[in-house]
Amino acid sequence: MQHILGDQIKDFTAIYDENVELVSVTSPISEQLEHFADRMFASRRVVKLQWQQQAMDTELPSQMLETSVDINEGATKLAEIIILTNEILYELLGCKEIGVRVVTLNTPMCPRFHVDSVVCRMLITIGGPGTEWIANYDVDRTLLADRASEAAPIKDGKVIQRVTPGNMALLKGGTWQNDFAGVVHRSPHQKIERLLLSFDPIYSI
């Protein structure tokens, strides 16, 4: 399995390659968003927003943010990222709905390495360290299956990788339609503030 680091939105199409497990597209964080995240961390504000919406709906994200986050330029930029990401997932995957989460964290949300039981998930870290993950060929499957073990399920001599903050990272999940079991990942293993966006494509039955 491979992972792709690209610099254009069209690079996400590589996710359909059966040998690709993760696609990360560079998207530097703007100064406005950096200040926005810093202000939220300094205020100790806890944000836990989660909603489901039509993929091409351009109104709901802004309305949700305005009820829970200060109305300022940073929040507007955050809403723009949400709208853009929803559009990307719609065009790429054909999903009509998206599950969106916007959360601030000061402890790991998912401290143990795991695989998400979804088709795929887009993760964007706006503030703080990016998501940690282990390449498929570096995973120690025995340790991963041992729920009692606190050890990282990684083979000797291999390294834990980390998504660059600001990058849009699309990870295949456990229900992706091939024999791949999903990207093994976790929240950064340290107590530090993060502002995280996550997006799940939703397919109506």
Question: Span 7-35, mean pLDDT?
Answer: 92
When divided into structural domains, the chain yields a total of: 1
Q: Give residue 37's pLDDT.
A: 86
Whole-Å CA distances, 200 to 19, 91, 151, 169, 172: 21, 14, 28, 12, 11
Question: Span 77-103, mean pLDDT?
Answer: 92
Residues 37, 31: Cα–Cα separation, whole Å: 10
CATH number at residue 196: 2.60.120
Question: Span 43-59, mean pLDDT?
Answer: 85
Domain coverage including residue 145:
2-202
Q: Give residue 34's pLDDT.
A: 86
Helix axes 31-43, 73-93, angle to 10 degrees: 110
Q: Give residue 113's pLDDT.
A: 92
- Better-predicted residue by pLDDT, 90 or 205: 90
**In a 10 Å sphere around its CB, with 0-12 CB exposed, 13-18 middle and 19+ buried, how is residue 39 labelled?**
middle
With bands split at pLDDT 50, 70 and 90, how would you rate the model's confidence at 73? Answer: low
Helix axes 73-93, 60-68, angle to 10 degrees: 140
Q: Give residue 69's pLDDT.
A: 62
| HEC letters along 39-50 | HHHHHCCCCEEE
Edge-to-edge strands, sheet with 132-134: 161-162, 132-134, 184-186
Lookup: tokens for 64: 């949700």
Q: Give residue 48's pLDDT.
A: 86
